[in-house]
Amino acid sequence: MTRAGFIGLAGRPNVGKSTLVNAIVGSRVAIVSMRPQTTRRAIRGIHTDLEAGRQLVLVDLPGVQRPRDVLTERMQKRVERELADSDLALIVINGEEGIGPGDRFIARALVEAGSRLPTICAVNKVDRTGPNELVPVLAEAAELDGVDEVFPISARDGEGLEALVERLGELVPEGPYLYPPEDHSDQSSELLLAELIREQVLNRTREEIPHSVEVSVKDITEREDGLITVVAEIWAETESQKGILIGKGGAKVEEIGAGARRSLEAELGAKVHLDLKIRVRSHWRRDEDLLDRLGIE
């Protein structure tokens, strides 16, 4: 008998959902940044334990938010659709910050969505929280609407993950595996590499840049000697943003490119030549056709 199911991860921006998905899967399937709203698409990370006979499909959703443009409106609708199609929900809370109105809103929204999903709450970042601060947070998390169980965890150092994964495996329904056991994600190579490049932009630019940037991988080729060439574009919305991304004498784009190349080489296990260009795409976040092509549904 095997078990397999979809687990929708809900939570406020920057609570560590992507870090948690990567930790459970044991592979890098979602980018991680201190910037809120790092995740734009629903990314599925796949954890298969053949010995236990279970497969967890973790759906890393964009942080729940109030839509402010076409991009964030689509992100929010995707959160609602994916949760409706999930077998259970996993609410992730930042243990450092405690329970806030956003956490209560998310828990209430899950209950009001109709079909009552089994709901687990993971209180993350306990490695940064002392016992006196953590205990009240755990007690308050247990009182959230619809929450069935609470697990204190650290996605960064692995504390508490074994118990959480074990419980999730017990809750997903009986049935065949949903993906081949060797798969770690349903993302295309182009999308994963584009996200790794965007991660470097997020971590190396100021407040006015991150939400205005998208990355598109145009081509991936491998030479006979094993060198992989990745051709990619970073899109900004204005000429001034383009100038910031290029930097004085091209310093910023060189810095982004060097960091991105290291990430791509680690992912691909090969030497990479990264051909990276900065391009202005005005108002791309409001372009419905373009968002369709980017896979931001």
The CATH number of domain 189-293 is 3.20.20.80: no
> What is the pLDDT, as a whole number, of residue 38?
47
Taking a C-beta distance cutoff of 8 angstroms, is the pair 123, 137 a contact? Answer: yes
Condensed to tens digits (0 to 9), the pLDDT of residues 50-80 reads 999 999 999 876 555 555 555 555 555 666 6
One-letter amino acid at 53 equals G
Report in angstroms the alpha-carbon separations of 72 from 47, 68, 76, 129, 149: 28, 6, 6, 31, 30
For every residue of 132-184, which 3-state class applies, written as one string? HHHHHHHHHHHCCCCCCEEEECCCCCCCCHHHHHHHHHHHCCECCCCCCCCCC
Taking the whole predicted model, whether its pTM rises above 0.85 is answered as: no
According to CATH, the superfamily of the domain at 3-171 is P-loop containing nucleotide triphosphate hydrolases (3.40.50.300)
CA 24, CA 215: separation in Å to the nearest integer?
Answer: 26
Q: Name the DSSP letter for residue 115.
A: S
Backbone angles phi, psi at 93, to 5 degrees: -125, 145
> What is the pLDDT, as a whole number, of residue 195?
85
For the chain, residues with pLDDT lower than 70 are 30-42, 61-82, 113-115, 206-211, 283-297
> What is the pLDDT, as a whole number, of residue 27?
80
Condensed to tens digits (0 to 9), the pLDDT of residues 196-234 reads 898 888 888 766 565 678 888 999 999 999 999 999 999
CA 285, CA 190: separation in Å to the nearest integer?
Answer: 20
How is the chain split into domains, by residue range? 3-171, 189-293
Work out whether the CA dihedral 220, 294, 185, 125 comes out positive or negative: positive
> What is the pLDDT, as a whole number, of residue 73?
58
CA 160, CA 127: separation in Å to the nearest integer?
Answer: 10
Q: Name which of 82, 68, 71 is nearest 113 in CA terms.
A: 82
What is the secondary structure of 217-273 as a DSSP string? EEEEEE-TTS-EEEEEEEEESSHHHHHHHH-GGGHHHHHHHHHHHHHHHHHHTS-EE
CA 9, CA 216: separation in Å to the nearest integer?
Answer: 26
CA 245, CA 240: separation in Å to the nearest integer?
Answer: 9
